[in-house]
A and B are shown apart, each in its own frame.
Chain A
Amino acid sequence: MLLNLIAGHDEKDTTSSDRPKVDYTLSLKNDVKGLKIGVPKEFYGKGLNEEVKAKLEEAIEKYRELGAIVEEVSLDIAEFSLAAYYIVACAEASSNLGRFDGIRYGHRSESAKELNEIFIKSRSEGFGDEVKRRIILGTYVLSSGYYDAYYKKAQQARTLVMNKFSKIFEDYDAILTPTSPVVAFNIGEKSNNPLEMYLADIYTVSVNVAGLPGISIPCGVDKCGMPIGMQLIGNKFQEETILNAAYTFEQAIEFRKKYKPEFKGGAN
């Protein structure tokens, strides 16, 4: 429903597509017979939590039962995607957040006495650690002398990732992956280890990097009752295919009926 509303060209955003709009609610056919799903083996290897892996395997079986053709494919882009994503995202963030300089936007330091102090103190006082980390990272990758090694390379990696995806979509309608290698962490749990936190995004950022539609839905819960997510990735502008695949799966496992959200606490 939301997608139906936000889809279509926005004349105030020139990067938005001007393709004709479709009614996505009509795509929910509750039928995946003959649908070709690729399962990239690289997404099921090292670093993936066993419980998550088991649930994903159940999901693959369920799709086969429903008449889909599920086959293993090779898509060795996860690490590139993650690196490219964080370089581009931090670069953009460092520039986008420039406007919070204490002049028009953001906090203005009380103790600043001259212009450069307004900039430096306001931003030092106003931003939190994670934001600062990303600004510093982003500033670094855009600096002259490092631009080619990082930002430019990240853009090249994006092209590579896109090409690999389009190769798979020549033969498959959708790609099935875990949403995250682990279930959701507790609040504050990973703040001291940002790298591990960034790694949790390893499966989802590739769709952002490649500019593809993706949908994440629960496919079960772990022993603590935390939901486990699976992700379906579709080809460019093929939202209807993955919406139908996700909807059909959700109907089949009756997730809403069987799993009542009930938080049991404790670490995973």
Chain B
Amino acid sequence: MPREDYEVVIGIEVHAELSTKTKIFCSCPTTFGAAPNTQVCPICMAMPGTLPVLNERVVEYAVKAGLATNCEISRDSKNDRKNYFYPDLPKSYQISQYDKPLCMNGYVEIETAEGKKKIGIERIHIEEDTGKLNHDDFGGGSLLDLNRAGVPLIETVSRPDMRSAAEADAYLKKLKSIFEYIEVSDCKMQEASFRADINVSVHKPGTPYGTRTEMKGMDSFRSITRAIEYEIDRQIEVIENGGKIYQETLRWDDVSGKTFSMRDKEDAQDYRYFPDPDLVAINLSEEYIQNVKESLPELPESRKQRYLEEYNLSEKDANIITSSKYLSDLFEGAIKVCNNPKAVNNWIISDISRILNETEMEPIEIPFDSKQLGKLVILIDKGTISSSIGKKVVTELFENPRDPEEIIKEKGWIQISDEGAIKEVVIKILEANPQSIADYKAGKDRALGFLVGQAMKETKGKANPQMLNKMFLEELKK
């Protein structure tokens, strides 16, 4: 496939659910996972005659998001109605923002193979989420859950600045981490509180942009990368075979690894946007914006800089840790307990990251806290357990988080540092392996490693490795 002949253009719209306690236009709670239709009221059920009241926190959070992504904040904004019929939209219109979004013209910086790159943000606006249709397993129809109706969202629209799936991935991860840092959204993708609509087109360099297709509601990084790669190949193949790309909405199917047409292109919706007459204009003062600016916490870029300087982390490690607020908080919290940044860094970069990857878990779901991680490091530093036992403790922390000291006591993993006990093991291993003794004496240093390994096996990893080493050397010299 002549992929090198084409340039790829990707633009992304991200919907992030805001972590306000209450909904955008009423005071219903926004907690996820409640029984259907238990977090509703006449307003979010759209009862005739009810009026919306804008939640001020929503504006504050959106302004925070705008400031953290270098946007201009609009002093004069408003809410508009987006009219369309769908069962999950009880008012038959969604209150959103049309021509006067709260934030405009920002950017975020991502790392690419060619260095840093700015991805433009066209706008960030506030809107309400819709309800959710659940398939009814008994009646065969659909049941409507309005708990999510009226949950506040910010929609972040990027400029079509990304040129590959890797750049799209980096942009999404960056945006997600910023929203986590400023605590406007928990960005839990499996709860769809961070989801993306991806627009992809291809064209030959020097020619106008191609027609784009849109994949809606993508909520896993892995699928997003796969879907973009698939869609690029599909579009190029269609064009190479003399076909035409239609502007349409596609559905990505993770199982078959393909995109499918979802909506016909002919029913391009006319949303009949107009200013919501039930709500007043949103006018923000300079003072208000300044106050929000001052309330912004430290952003990932600044934390990364600090890790490089204060803790001497490598650029790569600092990037991984600051990519998520939760990892970064875990890192800083654990250091406060054990004062050993190097060790904490290693645990996060190696074992913790590996387990997150294998289990497809997000950092926010890490079940143990920074104190427990810090204590684990202390136990190793004091020689109470070896680092190979430490690995087992980390696994245990993921499965059943509790005080590491309790874990090792319960499991009998405390390191053997008693000289007599270690000597006993050393002698036993030497007696069983005369060949290794001969090898060592013949100058093969590797034999020592083998012997230590055997002793560790014998003690199920609990023997203090430094003491083992020392004692073997002493015995072998005899």
Contacts and interface: CB of A to CB of B under 8 A. Distances in A.
B45 interface: yes
Nearest to B81: A95
Nearest to A88: B277
A86 B35 CA distance: 44
A14 interface: yes
Contact of A14 (B45, B144, B270, B279): B279
B91 A142 contact: no
Nearest to A145: B270
Range class of the A interface residue count: 20 to 34
Contact of B85 (A11, A13, A98, A104): A98
Nearest to A98: B92
A15 interface: yes
Interface in B49-97: 51, 53-54, 81, 83, 85, 87, 90-93
A119 B279 contact: no
B45 A104 contact: yes
B90 A99 contact: yes
Contacts, number: 65
A103 interface: yes
A144 B47 CA distance: 28
A143 interface: yes
B286 interface: no
A92 B277 contact: yes
Nearest to A91: B274
A95 B93 contact: yes
A99 B91 contact: yes
Interface in B77-125: 81, 83, 85, 87, 90-93
B46 interface: yes
A71 B290 CA distance: 52
B272 A139 contact: yes
Nearest to A105: B48
B280 interface: yes
A113 interface: no
Interface string A19-56: 00000000000000000000000000000000000000
Contacts of A99: 46, 48, 90-92
Contacts of A101: 85, 92
Contact of A98 (B47, B51, B83, B144): B83
B278 interface: yes
A14 B91 contact: no
Which of A91, A94, A99, A139: most chain B CB closer than 10 A? A99
B93 A98 contact: yes
Contacts of B91: 98-99
A255 to B, nearest CB: 35
Range class of the B interface residue count: 20 to 34
Interface string A79-99: 000000000000110110011
A91 B272 CA distance: 9
Nearest to A103: B87
Contacts of B273: 142, 147
A124 to B, nearest CB: 13
A102 to B, nearest CB: 10
A14 B53 contact: yes
A151 B274 contact: yes
Nearest to A96: B48
Which of A91, A104, A143: most chain B CB closer than 10 A? A104
Contacts of A94: 83, 272
Nearest to A119: B85
Contact of A15 (B45, B85, B87, B278): B278
A92 B272 CA distance: 11
A264 interface: no
A143 B280 CA distance: 23
A5 interface: no
A115 interface: yes
A98 B92 CA distance: 5
B53 A11 contact: yes
A142 B48 contact: no
Nearest to B272: A142
Contacts of A105: 46-48
A143 B51 contact: no
A12 interface: yes
A14 B280 contact: yes
Contacts of A13: 51, 53, 278
A13 to B, nearest CB: 5
A6 B273 CA distance: 31
A103 B280 contact: no
Contact of A104 (B46, B93, B270): B46
A103 B144 CA distance: 10
Nearest to A138: B272
Contacts of B280: 14-15
B88 to A, nearest CB: 9
Given A14-B53, A104-B90, A95 B274 contact: yes
Given A91-B274, A143-B270, A144-B270, 18 more contacts: A12-B53, A14-B51, A14-B279, A14-B280, A15-B51, A15-B278, A15-B279, A94-B83, A94-B272, A95-B272, A98-B91, A99-B46, A99-B48, A104-B45, A104-B90, A105-B48, A142-B274, A143-B272
27 contacts: A12-B51, A12-B53, A14-B279, A15-B51, A15-B277, A94-B83, A95-B81, A95-B83, A95-B274, A98-B83, A98-B92, A99-B46, A99-B90, A99-B91, A101-B85, A101-B92, A104-B46, A104-B90, A104-B144, A115-B87, A119-B85, A139-B272, A142-B273, A142-B274, A143-B272, A144-B270, A151-B274
Interface of A: 11-15, 91-92, 94-95, 98-101, 103-105, 115, 119, 139, 142-144, 147, 151
Top 3 A-B residue pairs of the complex, sorted by shortest distance between their CB atoms: A98-B92, A142-B272, A103-B87
